[in-house]
A and B are shown apart, each in its own frame.
Chain A
Amino acid sequence: MATTSIEKEDAIHPGKPVVVSRYNLGARVNHWITAISLILLALSGLAFFHPSLFFLTGLFGGGQEARAFHPWIGVLLFFSFAGLFIRFWRANLPEKSDREWLAHANDAIAGNEEKLPEAGRYNPIQKFNFWVMSLLIIALIVTGIAIWDQYFFDWTTIPQKRVAVLLHSLAAVALICIWIVHVYAVIWARGTLRAMTRGSVTGGWAWRHHRRWLKELAEHHRFKKPATPAE
């Protein structure tokens, strides 16, 4: 099996408990800029999606302000996500073992991870979320520019804008659903959030959820001493 799942920043810090570095500072900052942009985009976008949510424009200073900020935040998200994409696309490439893992998807959802093939840095559901999110963000930036009338009105015809605005809203809904799954999974699999806050997980977490990743790290002697609790 190819060891595509190890990233440069990954390292085991022996100790009790074992700590494993998963995301360096750059990756975490990049992630949280993306996360905050996505939340702001969802709030301002939902305000335009349905009248019952129009009050959300108040968070941005009013309707005019929400309308003006939304596309710029979208540009920020696009580039920020592009950073995440460049960091993580290799680790998210599909592998042969993913097929078998998905055949046991029921066990994954039930939390019976011992019945699953050992996962690398990402499991197939995480990979699916990654690629779907990437495609949706491309769809959103393309359709978003088509309806960014302030600067790009002449780039598209009105019938094209109609299709763009419909696709933009549907893609946004799909992205919000993926986001809900993502956030829920982090909460469900306890001990995951610290990967994006402190940058590390415990050895037990890695053993339970991403055993092949942990084994590969050990195999390649990716050890760091002394163990520092912060990294």
Chain B
Amino acid sequence: MTERVTVTVPGAHERTPRRKPPDEHSDPGATQVRSLIRSQARLALTTSAIVFLLLAGLPLLFACAPGLSHVRLLGVRLPWLILCGGVQPIWVAAARRYVRLAERAERAFTEPARHE
């Protein structure tokens, strides 16, 4: 079930959208929710940190070792090879890994809730 709530009525008081089940039912335990959010936050921050570190490290590498720019591999200069072909696969892999782990964390949260 998906519910779309659009808070677009101009001039109206800002409302918190309500779900159909009353809140005490739809909120499956504040502690569990907090721990879910914490584990998801950890995962999200780790993945972003990988991206950030790589993006911070590469410029530093080329700035500190300008000699790398003259190394050729397959007839292409190393910075061009790395920047054009080498980094993008890492993004794809990081994204896939994140999706897998985030879904696992959600399953771990949902399944016990289902058997309660």
Q: Are A and B physically bound partners?
A: no
Interface residues of A (CB under 8 A from B): none
Interface residues of B (CB under 8 A from A): none
